[in-house]
Structures are given as structure tokens and as C-alpha cells.
């Protein structure tokens, strides 16, 4: 019930952002098409996990939640801050607002953070659904839905944004429009 009430908009937004990034980041579309083709040829859990990793990597560039709610630090930590390109120390008990976007662009955790790349990145490195004791209750359901979006759309290698340089249009936080086509002539 919670996913139906609160998660469908988040999944729709995340799915749209994944498709947008897979169509705009260098090498991302090819990686998605290969992963989907491999899964369709041999539908194993391992091959499906590769589709999810492609989706999570694309979503890293437009996370569903660029900021998470208030958290209390359980231990002394250093948080990566993209601006002003510094690390911030958080002591035990301090309250802070974590940024998955900044964390998933930390060059220590994500080598070459500005590039779409799934090599040497583990599924647990992606913080889209929280981490540790703060894991989203709908995580696995949302992951399955996002996998299905990628599998459905990228089984056709001729998927393109329409027009080619289209951006996602939003109505507040909700996706209003992002149109794709399947070019059969290509």
C-alpha cells in the first residue's frame, strides 16, 4: 500500500531519469542494449542484476532524491562535498542531511565519477534507496520496476529521444513529459 500511495511517482520519475541518461551519456545506451540483449538471450538472475546495475549507474547522474532526510551520525565520518570540493567531518551524534548525489560522485568511492561506467562498481555502492539501517521499504519492488523499464525500452536498439536533444519536462517534482521513438529505419 505504501508503494502504491507514495512510490509510484518516485519510480516514474526515476525511470524517466534513467531513460534520459541512458540516451544522453556516452556509451550508456550501448551498455543498456547489450545488458538487455544478454538478459533476453539468457534470463538468469546474474544477467538481470547487470540490467539493474546499468539502471542504477544511469540514475547516479540524476538521483531520485538528491538529498535525504535528517540523519544522526553513528560514528565519526567524512562526507564528500562537491562544492566547495572538500570533505566535511561529522562526529558521533551530529545531525546532518546526506546527499546521495555528492556521495555517488566521490572519486574515492566511484573512480572517474563523471563517466558512465559499471566496472568496479558494486550494487551496494549506489545509495538511491538509502544505506545501512535507512533502507527504503520499497527498494526491491522499485528495483524490479526499474529493471522492467530498461528491459522493455532497450530491447530495441533504435530507441531515441524525440526530438534528439529533448530534455525531461517537469511539473514541480513530477515528470510531465519525456518522449522517445523507435526508429525502424535506422
Q: What is the pLDDT of residue 71?
A: 79
pLDDT value of position 101: 81
Which band of pLDDT confidence, cut at 50, 70 and 90, is reported for residue 85?
low
Q: What is the pTM of this model?
A: 0.84
Lowest mean pLDDT across 86-90, 98-102, 157-161: 86-90
Residue 142 sits at the vertex; the CA angle it makes with 124 and 53, to the nearest 5 degrees, is 40
- DSSP characters for 8-67? HHHHHHHHHHHHHHHHHSTTHHHHHHHHHHHHHHS--HHHHHHHHHHHHHHHTTS-S-SS
pLDDT tens digits for range 159-169 = 999 998 899 99
Q: Which residue has the higher pLDDT, 121 or 15?
A: 15
Q: Rounded to whole angstroms, how far apart are CA atoms 64 and 80?
A: 19
Least confident of 1-5, 100-104, 109-113: 1-5
Q: What is the pLDDT of residues 11-32, one digit of tens each?
A: 888 999 999 999 999 999 999 9
CA 169, CA 180: separation in Å to the nearest integer? Answer: 13
Q: Span 145-154, mean pLDDT?
A: 96
Helix, coil or strand: residue 137: coil
Report the alpha-carbon distance of residue 123 to residue 79 in Å, rounded.
20
Statement: residue 3 has pLDDT above 60: no
Q: How confident is the model at residue 86 (pLDDT cuts 50, 70, 90)?
A: low
pLDDT band at 111 (very low <50, low <70, confident <90, very high): confident
Backbone angles phi, psi at 175, to 5 degrees: -70, 130
- Please give the mean pLDDT across all residues of the chain: 85
Amino acid at each position: 500500500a505504501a508503494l502504491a500511495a507514495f512510490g509510484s511517482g518516485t519510480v516514474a520519475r526515476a525511470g524517466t531519469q534513467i531513460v534520459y541518461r541512458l540516451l544522453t551519456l556516452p556509451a550508456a545506451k550501448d551498455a543498456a542494449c547489450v545488458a538487455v540483449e544478454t538478459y533476453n538471450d539468457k534470463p538468469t538472475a546474474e544477467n538481470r542484476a547487470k540490467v539493474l546495475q546499468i539502471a542504477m549507474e544511469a540514475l547516479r547522474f540524476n538521483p531520485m532524491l538528491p538529498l535525504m532526510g535528517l540523519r544522526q551520525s553513528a560514528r565519526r565520518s567524512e562526507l564528500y562535498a562537491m562544492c566547495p570540493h572538500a570533505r566535511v567531518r561529522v562526529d558521533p551524534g551530529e545531525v546532518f542531511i546526506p546527499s546521495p548525489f555528492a556521495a555517488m560522485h566521490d572519486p574515492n568511492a566511484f573512480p572517474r565519477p563523471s563517466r558512465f561506467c559499471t566496472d568496479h562498481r558494486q550494487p551496494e555502492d549506489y545509495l538511491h534507496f538509502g544505506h545501512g539501517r535507512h533502507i527504503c521499504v520499497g527498494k526491491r519492488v522499485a528495483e524490479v520496476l526499474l529493471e522492467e523499464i530498461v528491459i522493455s525500452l532497450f530491447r530495441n536498439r533504435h530507441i531515441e529521444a524525440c526530438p534528439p536533444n529533448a530534455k525531461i519536462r517537469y511539473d514541480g517534482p513530477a515528470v510531465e513529459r519525456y518522449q522517445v521513438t523507435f526508429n525502424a529505419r535506422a
